[in-house]
Structure formats: C-alpha cells, structure tokens
C-alpha cells in the first residue's frame, strides 16, 4: 500500500471515529445526563459502536454499503444529533455516580496484572503480523463474512460458506466492524488490531464494575487473567468474536451496577444502554442470547414498579435494535430466526432440511456423568486452557458469583451473577463445547472460549463482591490474582526473543500509562489543580501526538505485514498452504473452492471473488455436491476462472479431494499449481458432464501426469 493510500485510509478511519464518537457523546448526554468518568466512557463506546453498526446495516440492507457511503451517513447523523441535541428527549437518570477509589497499592497490583495480560496479547498480535490471520474460525467464516460485506456492500443476503453448522446464519455485528476497516484501507490491516481494542475496552468495563466498591483493580485484573489465558489467546490478531461479545456484556453490567449502586432504582436511560449493549452481544454470537435476556429481565426488576412495563418494552426494543437484525434476516430467508433449532417439542419448525455438518458434535452436558471423559479429557483440558492454577481461578470465579448472589448484594449484582450462570449453561449445552468422536472430546479445549466470557463476568463481579467486605478481603483476592498471573496468562507459547521483547515493552508501557492516567484523574477530580480547560488541552495534545506517532509507525508496520502475509503458511495440508500463497498474489479473479478455510483466497487486496462450490436447497439450505454431475453443474453455474480443490483437514484418508478426481481430465481444466493434497486449476471453458463417465475419471491419487502451466503471479508447482 502506498503512503498516500495509507494516509487516506487513516483519515477516513479518523473521520469515522470522530463521527460515531460525537453521536455516542450526544446520545449519552441525553440518556445518562450528568454521568462522568470511566462508566460514561463505556456508555459512549457502546453507543458509538451501535451507531457504526446501525449505519452500516441501513446501507447494507439495500446493497449500498461502501466506505464513502458509510462515512457520509455517519457524518450526517453526527451533525444532525449535534445540531438538534437540545431537542432530543431528556431521560431521567442519577446525576452522581458513586465511586470509591481503590488504594494505591491495590491499584498498582491490579494494573500490573492487566499489563502482563496486555503484553501477552500484543505479542500474539505481533506473531500474526508475520503470518496473517490463520485461525480456523477466522479463515472459515469471520474473514469471509467481513470481506464479503466489504466487497458487495450487502448485509441482507446470505454469504454461503462450507456447509458446516449452518454458519451463513450466524449473526455478524463483529464482522461489520471488520468490514468497515477493510473498506477504509482496501485490505485487512485493521483487522489484525481490532481485538486489541476490544481487549482494552473489556478492561475498562471491568474496572467500572468494581469501582463503586473500591475494588476496580481487582475486577480489571480478574478479567485480564481470563482474556490473557490460553483459552482466549487465539483472539489476538484474529477475527474471532468471543472477546467482542464479552465486552458488550461487561459494558451492560458496568452501566447496570453503577446506575443501581446504593440501592437505587434505574430509570429509562440506563435501561436503554444496558439492553442495547445486551442486544449488540446477541448480534455478535448466538451463545449470548440467554445472557442478553437475563439483562433485559434485570432492568425490568430494577425499575420502579410503576415503570416496569414501559422500561421492559423500551428495553426489549433496544435489545432488538442491537442484535435483532440478523435474526430477522434468518427468519426472512429460512422461516426461522434460529435455523439450528428445527423442533420445539412435538412442533416441527421451518428451516433448511439438512445435517448441520462439521466436526462431530458433543456437549459438556452430555458427558457430565462420564467419569472417564471428565478425568482424561476435561480436567487436563482446563489446565491447557486456563493454566495450572485453573482450580484457584475457578474458586475465585465461583466466589464472585456467590458473593453477588447474596441478599446484601442488591438486584443489580444478582442480575450480573445470573448473567454468569446463563453463560455457563450456554457453554454446557453448546453442541461444540466438547466436540469430537464419542468418548474422545478432542475439541474441549477449543470450546473453552465459550466458557471464558462466563469466567470474565464472574471475575468482574469478584471485585464488587469483595470490595464491600473491607481491605483485608480485597488484598486476599488481589494476592490470589497475583499468584495466578504467571501460570494463567499465556506467556511464551511459540514465542521467540522478538515476542518476549514486544510483550515486555507493551506491558510496561500499558502499566505506565495506567498509573499516569489514574494519577492525573485523581489530581483533577480531588484537588482541582487542573481546570477543565487545561484538562481538555492536555488531552487534545496527548491524543494528537499519540495519533501522529501511531500513523507514522503504522506505515512501517503495514509494509512488514503485507511482506509476510500468507507468504509461508504452515498448514497441515501442503496444497492448502500453496494455494494461499498463490491467491495472495492474485487480484480480481473469481475462485470456486471446496475448502472450508477460504479467507486467504480473497487475496491481499480482498478483491478476489471466492465461493464454496455447493448446491442451494429450499429455505436457504446449502450442501456440498455428493456426485460428479452435481459438482460439474455447480461449478458451471459459478462461472469461475479458477478452482482451488484441496483437502483441508487432518485425518482425511484420501490423497487428494474427490472433486479433483472428478474434473482433472476435463479439456477445460488447465493445472496451475500442484501439491500434496490438492491443486489449483484454471478453467478455460465450461466443464463437461462427460468427464464424469467412469472411463474418463482420473485414477491416480497424486496426479503426477499433470503438467503445470502456472498463471501469472502464481506460486508455481511444487511437483
């Protein structure tokens, strides 16, 4: 990317951020008048993200979403809100937020633990800068969803992927944010860093949950441990969305706990904020629906009896505003907002009539009475996901729940505890929480990312639970967290000296900034040595210098990234790796594939059109071709220029994919790249059904009679 192009992208991102922030500030001032400090920043963040996603969905519904159209609409919305802010309805809300400062020692310990987790997360990002996004889910559906939206400008149509778990029905709030970055730069540079922003936002929301009780550092440190664990390490530098939904839930709880502190009833403004955040979580991941409904119920309970009906209806509307779009889309396409559920008792529900597919399903719930699985898979798996101190981590999480379920905790924290319970139950019954062959749930560790949000909620509540029990209880919890830090945070997994240096530098800088920022905040709020005007000047200069520094450094970082992006992928199927290297050098080509992990095929500029070769079925069903003729017909309908046909999972018994044997002898097929496990071929016309006759099938598994003629920019043959 040239420097002018990079600079234009940065300016577009900055203009968009300013616009949605202005919208968030104006709406926040009307919904939560008088709120100041960290919890107000969290509320503004939720509203700003909601404005960004909402504008994108309005345009995307009509296929009009582009970087420029989104920026124009965001600027118009922000300018309109700013111009007419005095005419907007003014919600009743408490003007004073109760906050009990933590002791300096507790603050130093809590921020140090958070700094360690932050450093480890940044080190994970630095690894991805040298490889590109390689995580399974990022390359399977997160990346293709985002790139597809950026390429087509359409959010309403279904992006059909490999027919596994009906993934094309997944909600996509997180992918919308990625697509905005892709439209700004014309590539996925920003996607590598987005989850770092969500990580930081989670820490801020956690701080706010413990803040009314003098234990903000404990809440922040507890959440940092969970986010820095091996179970969540694959969120760094990837497009995974577990951390995104976790932020929205923590943000909802932060607003709820602060609005209801000291036994206060909440008003309409906080109700709308809490339920909007819950809706955004629901629109990020299906697993968060139960937690979102619990938060809606909590806002109703915390309202004055005379206002419960009104607040419940308004909260329900905000919940749907935040996440209902995707379920309405599913309902329109398939007749069912949750197509994975095809039976409700004896009642048969509409939806695609097909197997869910994917890896062998299995839930933790189904193994709760199997002592062998618990002993040989679950207990070691907890250690793999959360470190050797996982038992102590679990004890602290349970303590957070128990302390906040007590009678003296109040309904707000009891609602938070109920959110934690709902997340645990969602993990227990999730069909992939213990996936794998019967009796061998080898996907258990991977499925711990469904449990991590529950642990994050419980650890955030731990601070609010121990905070009101005095200094001794706070220091006991802080000491336990300090013991857990070195064995829970995923330090050193696949690191070399560079990653260690990055982790120490990023963690140290984060710690210094936290301590300096908190010091300045306390001086300003307590001693009034800094006037509001001086504070604004200091903030403006600091932000400006930091922004200029990041922009200049970012240009060098992006050059490094695109020099190494998918340059030498190390996937278990050589053909898949070679296909990614080839595709990264292509631009504007149409590719059909049988591979599940298709995102790297989109190319460096994300302008390749990539589709899974499959067959459409009624009610938005989509299946792979089970025979040669169906595959040939599907490939011809796609009018592809290239086919990428490979194995893409370990353990498959074939030497090469069956689809390649079906079409390899067709006169229209010209080999481009060959490797163990598959090939890339160019199509010089339509495939013929006569290729499917047994006498024309290619029998040789390794296709050594192919003579490659690499396409321009191809990586070349490996044979």
Q: Convert the pLDDT of each residue in 11-51 to its tens digit.
A: 999 999 999 999 999 999 999 998 989 999 999 999 999 99
Tokens 């309902």 label which residue? 331
* The pLDDT of residue 365 is above 90: yes
> If we measure between CA atoms, which residue out of 338, 322, 151, 340 comes closest to residue 244?
322
Among residues of the chain, what percentage have pLDDT more than 70? 93
In the chain, domain spans: 3-336+361-529, 574-696
- The most distant pair of C-alpha atoms in the chain lies apart, rounded to whole Å, by 89
> If we measure between CA atoms, which residue out of 107, 135, 253, 140 comes closest to residue 195?
135
Q: Convert the pLDDT of each residue in 257-281 to its tens digit.
A: 999 988 889 999 999 999 999 999 9
Are the beta carbons of 590 and 607 closer than 8 angstroms? no
Q: Helix (H, G, I), strand (E, B), or coil: what is residue 348?
A: strand
CA dist 150 and 182 (Å) reads 6
Q: Convert the pLDDT of each residue in 607-659 to its tens digit.
A: 999 999 999 999 999 999 999 999 999 999 999 999 999 998 765 667 889 99
Can you give the pLDDT at residue 525?
65
Are the beta carbons of 669 and 708 closer than 8 angstroms? no
* The pLDDT of residue 709 is above 80: no
Can you give the pLDDT at residue 714?
41
Q: Helix (H, G, I), strand (E, B), or coil: what is residue 624?
A: strand
Residue 643: beta bridge partners? 592, 681
Q: Helix, strand, coil % (nearest 5) of the chain?
A: 65, 5, 30
Are the beta carbons of 610 and 144 closer than 8 angstroms? yes
Among residues of the chain, what percentage have pLDDT more than 90? 78
CA dist 681 and 642 (Å) reads 6
Q: Convert the pLDDT of each residue in 429-446 to its tens digit.
A: 999 899 998 999 999 999
> If we measure between CA atoms, which residue out of 211, 259, 223, 220 comes closest to residue 102?
211
Mean pLDDT calculated for residue range 360-364:
86
Per the structure block, which two tokens stand in for 6?
A: 């990079």
Q: Convert the pLDDT of each residue in 145-181 to its tens digit.
A: 999 999 999 999 999 999 989 999 999 999 999 999 9
Q: Helix (H, G, I), strand (E, B), or coil: what is residue 64?
A: coil
CA dist 467 and 482 (Å) reads 17
Write the Ramachandran bin of 606: left for phi over 0, alpha for psi from -120 to 50, otherwise beta. left
CA dist 80 and 59 (Å) reads 18
Q: Convert the pLDDT of each residue in 659-681 to its tens digit.
A: 999 999 899 999 999 999 999 99
pTM, to two decimals? 0.94
Can you give the pLDDT at residue 707?
46
Kindly list the distances between the CA atom of residue 37 and the CA atoms of 20, 21, 576, in Å, as whole numbers in the listed order: 19, 15, 50
**Residue 167: which H helix or E strand, with range?**
none
Handedness of CA 454, 111, 409, 317 (dihedral sign): negative
Helices marked H in 303-407: 308-334, 371-373, 379-386, 390-405
Are the beta carbons of 474 and 218 closer than 8 angstroms? yes
Are the beta carbons of 281 and 50 closer than 8 angstroms? no
Helices marked H in 406-496: 410-429, 444-447, 452-467, 471-488
Q: How many residues does the chain have?
A: 719
> If we measure between CA atoms, which residue out of 447, 481, 417 comes closest to residue 137?
447
Are the beta carbons of 139 and 238 closer than 8 angstroms? no
């Amino acid at each position: 990317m040239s420097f002018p192009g990079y600079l234009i992208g940065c300016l577009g991102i900055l203009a968009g951020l300013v616009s949605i922030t202005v919208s968030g500030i104006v709406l926040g001032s009307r919904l939560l008048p008088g709120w100041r400090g960290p919890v107000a920043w969290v509320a503004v963040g939720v509203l700003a993200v909601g404005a960004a996603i909402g504008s994108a969905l309005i345009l995307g519904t009509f296929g009009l979403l582009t970087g420029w159209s989104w920026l124009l609409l965001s600027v118009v919305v922000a300018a309109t809100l700013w111009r007419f802010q005095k005419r907007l309805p003014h919600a009743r809300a408490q003007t004073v937020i109760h906050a009990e400062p933590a002791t300096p020692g507790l603050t130093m310990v809590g921020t140090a633990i958070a700094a360690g987790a932050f450093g480890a997360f940044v080190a994970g990002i630095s690894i991805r800068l040298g490889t590109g996004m390689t995580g399974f889910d990022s390359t399977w559906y997160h990346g293709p969803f985002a790139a597809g939206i950026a390429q087509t400008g359409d959010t309403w149509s279904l992006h059909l992927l490999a027919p596994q778990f009906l993934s094309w029905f997944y909600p996509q709030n997180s992918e919308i944010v990625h697509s905005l970055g892709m439209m700004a730069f014309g590539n996925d540079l920003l996607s590598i860093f987005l989850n770092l922003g969500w990580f930081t936002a989670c820490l801020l929301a956690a701080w706010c949950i413990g803040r009314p009780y003098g234990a903000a550092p404990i809440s922040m440190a507890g959440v940092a441990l969970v986010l820095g664990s091996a179970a969540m390490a694959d969120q760094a530098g990837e497009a995974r969305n577990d951390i995104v939904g976790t932020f929205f839930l923590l943000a909802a709880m932060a607003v709820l706990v602060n609005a209801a502190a000291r036994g206060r009833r909440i008003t309409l403004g906080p109700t709308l904020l809490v339920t909007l955040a819950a809706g955004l979580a629901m629109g990020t991941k299906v697993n968060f629906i139960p937690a979102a409904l619990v938060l809606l119920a909590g806002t109703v309970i915390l309202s004055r009896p005379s206002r419960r009906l009104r607040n419940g209806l308004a909260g329900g509307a905000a919940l749907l505003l935040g996440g209902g779009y995707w379920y309405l889309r599913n309902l329109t396409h398939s007749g069912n907002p949750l197509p994975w559920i095809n039976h409700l008792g004896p009642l048969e529900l509409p939806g695609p009539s097909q197997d869910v597919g994917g890896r062998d399903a299995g839930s933790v719930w189904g193994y709760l009475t199997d002592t062998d699985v618990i002993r040989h898979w679950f207990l070691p798996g907890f250690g793999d996901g959360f470190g050797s101190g996982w038992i102590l981590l679990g004890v602290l999480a349970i303590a957070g729940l128990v302390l906040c379920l007590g009678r003296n905790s109040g309904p707000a924290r009891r609602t938070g505890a109920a959110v934690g319970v709902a997340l645990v139950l969602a993990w227990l019954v999730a069909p992939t929480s213990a996936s794998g062959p019967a009796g061998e749930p080898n996907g258990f560790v991977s499925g711990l990312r469904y449990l991590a949000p529950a642990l994050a909620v419980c650890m955030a509540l731990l601070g609010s639970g121990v905070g009101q029990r005095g200094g001794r209880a706070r220091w006991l919890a802080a000491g336990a967290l300090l013991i857990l830090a070195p064995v829970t945070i995923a330090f050193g997994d696949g690191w070399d000296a560079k990653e260690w240096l990055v982790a120490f530098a990023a963690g140290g800088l984060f710690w210094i900034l936290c301590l300096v920022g908190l010091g300045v905040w306390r001086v300003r709020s307590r001693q009034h040595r800094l006037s509001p005007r001086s504070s604004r000047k200091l903030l403006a200069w600091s932000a400006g210098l930091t922004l200029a520094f990041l922009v200049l450094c970012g240009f060098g970082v992006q050059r490094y990234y695109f020099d190494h992006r998918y340059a030498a992928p190390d996937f278990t199927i050589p053909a898949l790796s070679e296909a990614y290297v080839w595709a990264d050098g292509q631009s504007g080509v149409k590719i059909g594939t049988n591979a599940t992990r298709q995102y790297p095929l989109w190319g460096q500029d994300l302008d390749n059109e990539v589709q899974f070769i499959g067959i459409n079925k009624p009610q938005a069903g989509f299946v792979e071709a089970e025979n040669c003729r169906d595959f040939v017909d599907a490939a011809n309908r796609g009018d592809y220029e290239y086919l990428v046909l490979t194995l893409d999972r370990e353990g498959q018994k074939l030497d090469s994919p069956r689809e390649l044997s079906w079409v390899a002898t067709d006169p229209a097929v010209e080999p481009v790249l060959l490797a163990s496990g598959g090939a890339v071929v160019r199509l010089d016309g339509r495939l013929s059904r006569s290729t499917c006759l047994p006498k024309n099938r290619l029998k040789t598994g390794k296709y050594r009679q192919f003579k490659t003629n690499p396409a321009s920019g191809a990586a070349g043959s490996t044979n």
